[in-house]
Amino acid sequence: MEEGPVRSQVEDGQALLTIDRPAARNALSPEVVQGLRAALARAEADPSVRVVVLTGAGDRAFCAGADLSGMAPRDAKGPGDPVADHHAARGWLAELFEEMWHLGKPIVARVQGWAMAGGLGLALACDMVVASDRARFGAPELDVGLWPYMVTVPMLRSMPPKKALEMMMTSRVVDAEEAGRIGFVNRVVPHERLDEEVAELAAVLASKPPGVMRLGRESFYAVVDSAAAEALPYLHAMLTVTSQTAEAAEGIAAFAEKRPPAWRAEMGERAD
């Protein structure tokens, strides 16, 4: 268990990352962002981790967004211009999104309360979102004279553009039921069943072949913003690559022999 603003616990192939600032509604301080990046790096390097679950402490909020006191400079002791330093430090959230998409392992957001502004972006940067029926979502930056610039990317990857723009332009809060209808939440469940539902989904994801999961997930994010003419040749090549893996051979053999496949850790190791 890692202590600090981000707690990390690994059990049964699952890494549970918890933003632990309940009094601040789990807002994104510089320490939280850096803690999440460090925890994700550990999860990526740990072969026992098959899936990551991301949540916030307490029942009030998954994450209320960025701490409005501002992001600290990259090097508080350096001689850099304060405006330039703060501009660079705000890029930490964009870097976190990129690292999540390139993790190679599935990430599930467990949303039990408010997911606002950067917290909405954090939830939508996960592969799947499981929300309590008490969850609420919004991009209210315009109300404080800002705009959800970096959050735009995970929003556009998770919902129709006009719905994303409506949320950004009106600052309207969306409840869990509507979020499910819009499509940026995968599952809406009764609050008292949230942990059970998240655990069941995480167990399913952890049971899949890790190497092909990594290849397939990477291919999804590689083509999600691409035109079909660009995506299809890449996906064609990835099918050939995947068909030559040990996991594909085991899966096909297990199907032919009418038995469950045995995914071994070494099958899914990244070739260096």
Q: Pick from 210, 145, 209: which is nearest to 171 by CA?
A: 145
Which one of the listed residues 44, 98, 141, 177 is annotated catalytic?
Answer: 141
Residue with tokens 């496949």: 261
Element (H, E) at 92: helix 82-101
Phi, psi dihedrals of residue 20, rounded to the nearest 5°: -110, 65
Active site residue 230: no
Cβ contact 115:140 at 8 Å: no
Residue 129 vs residues 54, 86, 198, 211, 265: alpha-carbon distances, Å: 10, 30, 9, 23, 26
Distance CA 84, CA 17 (A): 31
State the Cα–Cα distance between residues 272 and 259, nearest whole angstrom: 31
Residues labelled catalytic:
141
